[in-house]
Amino acid sequence: MTATPSAPDTAGPLLSTLEAPAALRELSERQLTGLADEIRAFLIEKVTAVGGHLGPNLGMVELTLALHRVFTSPHDTLLFDIGHQAYVHKLLTGRAAGFTTLRQAGGLSGYPSREESPHDVIENSHASTALSYADGLAKARQLHGEQDRAVVAVIGDGALSGGMAWEALNNLGGAPDRPVIVVLNDNERSYAPTIGALADHLHQQRAQSDDSIDWLVRQAPAARFGGCDAEADGPLPLARSLFELLGFAYIGPVDGHRLRPVEEALSLARELGRPVVVHTVTSKGKGYRPAEDEPQDRMHTCGVIDPHTAEPLKQSSTPSWTSVFSDQLCSLGQRHENVVALTAAMPGPTGLARFAERFPQRCFDVGIAEQHAVTSAAGLATGGLHPVVAVYATFLGRAFDQVLMDVALHRLPVTFVLDRAGATGPDGPSHHGMWDLALLGAVPGLHVAAPRDATRLRELLDAAVRYEDAPTALRFPKGGVGEDIPALERIGPVDVLHRSGISDVLLVAAGPMAAPAREAALRLEGQGIGVTVADPRWVLPVSTELVQLASRHRLVVTVEDNIRTAGLGTALARALDDDGCGTPLRALGLPGRFLPHASREDLLRRAGLDAKGISQAVLRARAHKPHQQPDPHTPAEVS
């Protein structure tokens, strides 16, 4: 086991002088070994200080060095499907200084970013997509006659469990005249251990490898001739891989932490001039004992921690939304034997790990395959069970067709629990869960709840799993749950949280927006404006009771951490119009554009979704003042 490196104060002598990846080709093998150590020490120091994806990047050091020594980026294109494993790539392309502001507002992105560097080509950090990018890019290069520009896609074995990756492999392997190099970074994990038949196949490939025979000598004939001419080349020491059957040359398995063999494998792959899979085997968290030893993959991503002990330096005094959901689902599982759960390779982050421990036969990890997860849930519901699909809000969009046609069309009782809804913070534009209400609002018969606190989460989840003839969804944000906000009264499904003596403004707050809305009401009262604050609890479809409550006020203002152009606000506006209610409505929400990485609190404030912004929006609406044009670089509230 590798000892935990100490955390240095600055980058080492080699890393600090590295200005471009071309300089790597001038280094000796001994220097490269030293550079790898420097990179790991640098990552441990910097990532533990600000938080980020530590374990995945520690496993990518030698592989990334080899990629940049064999290929000339950006002339050759390096595509990182697993974007959170691109920290080493960032270091080697001149961005070491930015790691002090990693994932902070205005700082270095935690994923590839085209704004940061010409070496970053794609920045969508949803898994299983890079192979399709590679397929299209290779076709473009072929049409332009750019035969000297390699296309290399790095994909993890976890990401390879996604169906889209196999759609791409089907196309890539069927085009022998269009060379694309697929680098399979096999560490046997995504967030959790990789599961399924593919994981079994890769395990068999690793098990059949004979370390006493040099891998390159053993595999070169198979790679050059597709492994299909046994008489000419002699019997192959490995069974043919699945990739060979799909039309790829296959090189490996190769130890991804031995620089020379990895370079030789990549060089051979380039020489072959055909679709190739280079199978590298790496260890997540390599070189940092807490990351290597952690059984629950806690070091996949970390907050601010002590670099030596890996213990958090900032302890939260409140439970997280995810933990409250996790506890309640276990309670429901105990009471309802028909409740089952599904996750797309994220049992820990989505809160299903405890349910899986208590009810192992009733929890299903399907790999990074959201589409399959949803339709598999439809099958479970058809079989008389009530599935709970726990998924990040940003990833549900990948399975919209399945939600619409496979679940809702059949009126099946499936509950979707959408973690990280709204502005999520440091992971940036690909991970903000701000489009879910816009998508789900188009699904007939789907009921969407947004709990404002822990008590409402338990209450609404309990109600959701009791539905027998319609799908349901619950959405909640990342982070800690605040204090419970009691209701003054309940009108149908609607909770009234605040009421002035005479109210002329109705603030309708979706879920966690209740707290700033109630604070805004107090601010407005201080200026003589009467305000009612209502939490619809079930935000979609709009209830009759909410429409009736709105009709008794002079102005309605909705507040949601979803894009304002399609969510609660627009749905309530339509309902008021259908009812013939003339009460004007102003919808406050997130702007309909990709938001940068920053803290959730900062993003909400900049969007005018804090108490100050909400109260100012109400004052503008009452005064009928036109909204000023916002700074195009700031996600401001739009009325």
pLDDT digits (tens, 9 = 90+) for 568-626: 999 999 999 999 999 999 999 999 999 999 999 999 999 999 999 999 999 999 987 44
Instruction: Provide the residue ranges of all domains of the chain, joining segments of one domain with +.
Output: 128-282, 323-475, 494-623
Q: How far from 30 is each of 1, 88, 89, 260, 586, CA to CA, in Å?
A: 21, 19, 20, 11, 65
Question: Would you say 308 is a known binding-site residue?
Answer: no
Peptide bond into 253 cis (omega under 30): yes
Q: Residue 294: what pLDDT?
A: 63
Query: What residues in the chain have per-residue pLDDT under 70?
Result: 1-11, 191, 209-239, 294-299, 625-639
Q: Residue 262: what pLDDT?
A: 96
71-130 confidence digits (pLDDT tens): 999 999 999 997 888 999 999 999 989 989 999 999 999 889 999 999 999 987 889 999
Positions marked catalytic: 284, 370, 398
How many Å apart are CA 303 and CA 25, to the nearest integer?
Answer: 35
Short-list 78, 76, 80, CA closest to 146: 76
Fold match between domain 323-475 and domain 494-623: yes
Question: Would you say 370 is a known binding-site residue?
Answer: yes
In DSSP notation, 120-163 reads: ------STT-HHHHHHHHHHHHHHHT-TT--EEEEEETTGGGSH
Q: Residue 293: what pLDDT?
A: 72
Question: Would you say 158 is a known binding-site residue?
Answer: yes
314 backbone dihedrals φ, ψ, rounded to 5°? -120, 110
Q: In this structure, are residues 618 and 589 in contact, taking their beta carbons and an 8 Å threshold? A: no
The rounded Cα 34 to chain-centroid distance in angstroms is 33
Question: Would you say 187 is a known binding-site residue?
Answer: yes
Question: Would you say 159 is a known binding-site residue?
Answer: yes
Question: Would you say 265 is a known binding-site residue?
Answer: no
Could you please state the CATH topology (level 3) that the domain comprising 323-475 is classified under. Rossmann fold (3.40.50)
Q: Residue 199: what pLDDT?
A: 87
Beta bridge partners of 532: 499, 506
Could you please state the CATH topology (level 3) that the domain comprising 494-623 is classified under. Rossmann fold (3.40.50)
602 burial via Cβ count (<10 Å: 0-12, 13-18, 19+): middle
How many Å apart are CA 133 and CA 138, to the nearest integer?
Answer: 8
CATH class of the domain at 128-282: alpha beta
How many Å apart are CA 238 and CA 236, to the nearest integer?
Answer: 5
Question: Which is it for strands 151-156 and 77-80: parallel, antiparallel or unpaired?
Answer: parallel
Torsion of CA 214, 219, 224, 227, to 10 degrees: 150
Question: Would you say 553 is a known binding-site residue?
Answer: no
Question: Would you say 125 is a known binding-site residue?
Answer: yes
Q: In this structure, are residues 309 and 7 in contact, taking their beta carbons and an 8 Å threshold? A: no
Q: In this structure, are residues 180 and 138 in contact, taking their beta carbons and an 8 Å threshold? A: yes
The rounded Cα 233 to chain-centroid distance in angstroms is 45
Question: Would you say 338 is a known binding-site residue?
Answer: no
Q: In this structure, are residues 100 and 45 in contact, taking their beta carbons and an 8 Å threshold? A: no
Question: Which is it for strands 531-535 and 415-419: parallel, antiparallel or unpaired?
Answer: unpaired
